Amino acid sequence: MLWEMRGCYWRKGITGMALNVLGRVRDTVTQRLSRRVTPPDKVLRRYKKMISNVLSKKGVDADKFYNDQRMTWIVPLQPVPVFIRLVRRERQDGKTDDFIEVFARMMQLPSEPLVAVYRFLLGFNMTLVGTAFAVDSGYIYLCSQRPLEGLDENELEDMVGAVIAVVNQALPLLQQEFAVGAVPL
């Protein structure tokens, strides 16, 4: 019989120390799967240039808003900043997947009425295409994510435009319904 306790599996009749080690191995594998690392320079350069081109078309100096350590552009748009991030995720089979994420941290999650906020976000998610609301670390985010493979400038521009359009549509409704302001940069 197995029980999960504090991230470790314990089996009746087997020493806890051996199973504690197994639990740590499982935790290490889980952390490895969720870890984000930077794509290699060749891929990075190509997509950095593409993102710079799209942002310059919109009149934004991409180099000014680029964080090299996080491979993230933080574009100060109104009413909330938009983040563009290149991500690599490791899979269990040792291979990696490269993604681009475009997201906006819209507002702090209200403490009351939480069920109504979640119901609103899930209902709004049903109407969205290519974007979705998410909740993390006490904030509401609007996210769009896609594999890097095959991405072109038009699609990247559409991703950024979709996030901006939904933010402009949903943020006033969220603020009106739950009386919470947008998150400043």
Do 111 and 93 belong together in one domain? yes
Question: Of 16-25, 34-43, 51-60, 127-136, which gets the smallest average pLDDT?
Answer: 16-25
Check whether 83 has a pLDDT greater than 90.
Answer: yes
Q: pTM for the whole thing? A: 0.71
Cα dihedral 106/164/166/112 (nearest 10):
10
Do 22 and 97 belong together in one domain? no
For 7-26, the pLDDT digits (tens) are 433 334 443 443 343 344 34
Cα 180 from Cα 173, distance rounded (Å): 10
What SS3 class is residue 122? helix
Those residues whose C-beta lies under 8 Å from the C-beta of residue 170, and which sit 6 or more positions away, are 106, 124, 133, 142
Domain membership flag for residue 116 = yes
Do 58 and 30 belong together in one domain? no
Q: How many CB atoms lie within 10 A of CB 149?
A: 9
Do 112 and 58 belong together in one domain? yes
Residue 159 structural domain: 36-178
Check whether 164 has a pLDDT greater than 80.
Answer: yes
Domain membership flag for residue 184 = no
